[in-house]
Structure 1
Amino acid sequence: MRFKSKVAPAPPQVDLIPMLTVMMGILAFFVVITLTLGSETLIDVQLPAEQPDNAPAPLPADPFIVELLAEGQVQLNGQPTDLDTLKGQMTAYLSRNPENIVFLLPSQELPYEQVMQFLGEMRTVGGNRVSLAIEE
């Protein structure tokens, strides 16, 4: 008659390699996402002071109004123009009139992101003398 031996089986071993592989993959994912989200450029928006009695701010004698239409077209004071011409005219206008401001009047149908990108391009030429306008 044979008796079973009372030897305890070997304790199970935990393999850490697959767990560490998954953890490193998750860490790499969050590092890439953090770097991607941190590289966005910001546009500094300064809101004007509240006007008493809803009085509109006076426009200059020769306003420089850039309209961004829903079709992606750009107009300068009601006349169609292209971006290169617009940049040259902006530079000339701002050098002639050091106190005036360039106004960007976007269409209401345009997505916010497209308007902000165009505003950023205009600010590379005009700096803080470019203002986002709304039509009332």
Structure 2
Amino acid sequence: MRFKSQSSPPPPQVDLIPMLTVMMGVLAFFVVITATLGSETLVDIQLPGEQQNDEPVPLPADPFIIELVGENEVMLNGQPIDIQALQAQMEAYLSRNPNDTIFLLPNPDLPYEQVMQFLGDMRQIGGDRVSLAIEESN
């Protein structure tokens, strides 16, 4: 009696080229995304420390309050104003009052990016003498 010899099939071959191609594509994707997100400009904001007293800081005699109502809609101390005229008013106020601060009061419904972009534009004129303000609700 003759037995049929059973030959085992050869072991499967693993082709690494497609796997490496996918891995390189994923790596390239993350490198591009990291480079893109890392190039954004940031606005440096100094957060106040913990206050020891509950008294609010008094406003100057003639406060300079800019209200950002909507996109390209700006009010200066309650009066509508053009952005170019606002820049001239800011420069004049800062030269007249070297120790006072300009306050930006944005509409809470505006997108964060728009408020930060406007604050950054204002800081190019006034530097650290421009401050973001909020309205307290009682």
TM-score per shorter chain, which class? 0.7 to 0.9
Paired residue for 1:48? 48
Q: Secondary structure at the match of 2:26?
A: helix
- CA positional deviation for 1:9: 5.3
Paired residue for 1:95? 95
Paired residue for 1:16? 16
Measure, in 2, the Cα distance between the counterparts of 1:71 and 1:18: 50
TM-score normalised to the size of structure 1? 0.83
Q: Where do 5+ consecutive residues of structure 2 fail to align? A: none
- CA positional deviation for 1:15: 2.2
Q: What is the 5 A alignment of 1:1-136? A: 11-49=11-49, 50=51, 52=53, 54-70=54-70, 72-136=72-136
Q: Where do 5+ consecutive residues of structure 1 fail to align? A: none
Aligned length: 133
Measure, in 1, the Cα distance between the counterparts of 2:9 and 2:38: 53
**AA in 2 matched with 1:47:** L
Question: Once superposed, what is the RMSD of the aligned Cα atoms?
Answer: 2.2
Aligned-residue sequence identity (percent) comes to 71
Measure, in 1, the Cα distance between the counterparts of 2:52 and 2:65: 21
- Higher mean C-alpha displacement, 75-84 vs 122-131: 75-84
Q: Secondary structure at the match of 1:117?
A: helix
Checking the alignment, whether the CA contact within 8 Å between 2:72 and 2:83 is kept in structure 1 is no
**AA in 2 matched with 1:81:** I
Q: Secondary structure at the match of 1:69?
A: strand
Cα gap change, 1:66/1:51 in structure 2, threshold over 3 Å: closer, same or farther? farther
TM-score normalised to the size of structure 2? 0.82
